[in-house]
Structure 1
Amino acid sequence: MLKRYFVTGTDTEIGKTTIACGLLCAARRTGLTTAAAKPVAAGCERTSEGLRNEDALALQAQCDPALAYELINPVTLEAAIAPHIAANEEGANLTVELLAGGCLQVFDRKAEFTLVEGAGGWRVPLNPEQTLADLARELRVPVIMVVGMRLGCINHAILTAEAIAADGIELAGWVANQVDPDMSRPQENLATLKKLIQAPYLGYVPWLEDATADLVADFLDITPLV
């Protein structure tokens, strides 16, 4: 059976891509074919090949068999700001239908383990009427939640999990990612999260100076996903 998931986070800059790459690497280790989509990315840099996003390139490196960049990241925005604001400034039309169409092209490759990475958190707007949560609902895929381990993470995680449930979408699992190396009582916070989040726990990734996909994969258990 083909496994497909939407990766969201409790906030921006909490390591969604780092964890997504680790999950893809872990899947590859088990012999599964992998694919990824970053349907919209803000903060792209101009290159000789066009606009490129660092996160999308990291995801591309974990796809086996290889996927073209344009397939992984069809909507590229230069400004490193909220996608709907960047799209408005750059004349792009962001809709669920547009982004879902790009994701379905990745799904058509029929990789055994596919991840779609959102941007920012669960309720990030695409336009005045739609959010990235609507994209996950349109794709009809379960969600993996990345919890950024820093002050306030318990509140953010519970609110995000509640919002996912309210949208009628399955929370397939969650990962705790240490984004603040100086966070007080990380293990106590983790223990609380384990009690409060009613979904499979996929692992705790400590603060890593060089968070390569291979290293991150060592801390993850994808058994509940595959």
Structure 2
Amino acid sequence: MRKRYFIAGTDTDVGKTKVSEMLLTRAGQLGLSTLGLKPVAAGAEQIDDHWSNEDARALMAASSVKLDYAQVNPVLLKQPIAPHIAAHQEQKRLSVQTVSGYCRGTFMTTQADFVLVEGAGGWRVPLNFNETLADVAKDLQLDVILVVGMKLGCLNHALLTAEAIERDGLKLAGWIANCIDPEMAVRNENIQTLQRMLRAPLIGVLPYQNEGEDAPENWVNPAIFA
């Protein structure tokens, strides 16, 4: 049975890509074929005469199914700013229909057991003045995994985002506590608070990692892959 999830974050810079990498890696260790997609990315650099996004490259490296860059990241915007503003500066038009169409095309032409579609920023990041990236998850009818960056203020962000996901009619399959601040006070108490208040299971706690450090093998509940 194939599993597909939309990876959402409580904010920008909460570690959606790192968590996605770790999920893809763990799924691969369990014998599943894997694919990570970043349909919209804002922020690019030129490498060997080609523009690309760091997060998209990371997902490609962590995926066992190898695709061309344009299939993984069909909408690449050069400036690391809100996608709808970056698109306007480049005279491009973003829409749910277009972004969802790219994803559906990839779903139809590739066979992977475990697929992640990573969003950009938080849940309500605009694609244009009428649509947001949340509408892509809705259009594709994907269950959502919420990445909570464990830092001061995360409780409010997590509760509001979970509420928005539920109001949009999507299933919050679970949430992951990503320990991005090694000096966060009362981190465990914050995690426990969210466990009591979020109507979705805690499926993993990703410890703070130094550069090049691997995550512990058992950091995530394997039920998310089944």
Q: SS state of the match for residue 119, structure 1?
A: strand
Report the secondary structure of 1:189's partner residue: helix
TM-score (structure 2 length as normaliser): 0.95
Q: 1: CA distance between counterparts of 2:12 and 2:141? A: 23
Query: Does the 8 Å contact 2:207/2:215 carry over to 1?
Result: no
Structure 1 gap segments, 5+ residues each = none
In the TM superposition, structure 1's runs of 4+ consecutive aligned residues that sit over 6 Å from their partners are none
Aligned to 2:180: 179
1:220 aligns with 2:181: no
Q: Which residue of 2 aligns with 1:34?
A: 34
Given that 2:5 and 2:117 are in contact with CA atoms closer than 8 Å, whether structure 1 keeps it comes out as yes
Aligned counterpart, 2:210 = 209
| TM-score for the superposition, normalised by structure 1 | 0.95
Residues 116-168 of structure 1 show CA distances to partners (whole Å, capped at 9, x for unaligned) of 00000000000010000100000011000000100011110000000000000
Q: CA RMSD in A?
A: 1.3
Q: How far apart are 1:106 and its partner, in Å? A: 2.3
User: Structure 1's 211 and 162: CA in aligned 2 closer, same or farther, altered over 3 A?
Assistant: farther
> Which residue type is aligned with residue 123 of structure 1?
R
Secondary structure of the residue aligned to 1:223 is: helix
Amino acid corresponding to residue 209 of structure 2 in structure 1: L
Verify: 1:161 aligned to 2:168, yes or no.
Answer: no
Alignment of 1:118-157 (within 5 A): 118-157=119-158
Matched, 1:192 2:184: no
Residue of structure 2 equivalent to 1:47: 47
Give the conservation status (yes or no) of the 8 Å contact 2:123–2:161: yes
Distance 2:98 2:164 in 1: 23
Per-residue deviation, 1:49: 4.6
| Larger RCO, structure (CA 8 Å, separation 6 or more) | 1
Three-state SS of the structure 1 residue aligned to 2:162 is: helix
Secondary structure class of the residue paired with 1:27: helix
What number of residue pairs does the alignment pair up? Answer: 225
Deviation, 1:215, is 2.1
Fraction of identical pairs, as percent: 49
User: Counterpart of 1:36 in 2: which secondary structure?
Assistant: strand
Q: Is the 8 A contact 1:23 1:222 kept in 2?
A: no
Q: Which residue of 2 aligns with 1:105?
A: 105
1:75 corresponds to: 75
Structure 1 residue 195, shift from structure 2 partner: 0.7
Distance 1:86 1:167 in 2: 26
d(CA) in 2 for partners of 1:208, 1:104: 34
CA contact (8 A) 1:6 1:116 kept: yes
Deviations 1:152-201 (A, max 9, x none): 11110000000000000000111000111221100010110111111121
Change (3 A) 1:219 1:70: same
Structure 1 segment 9-20 matched on structure 2, within 5 A: 9-20=9-20
Q: Who is 2:21 aligned against?
A: 21
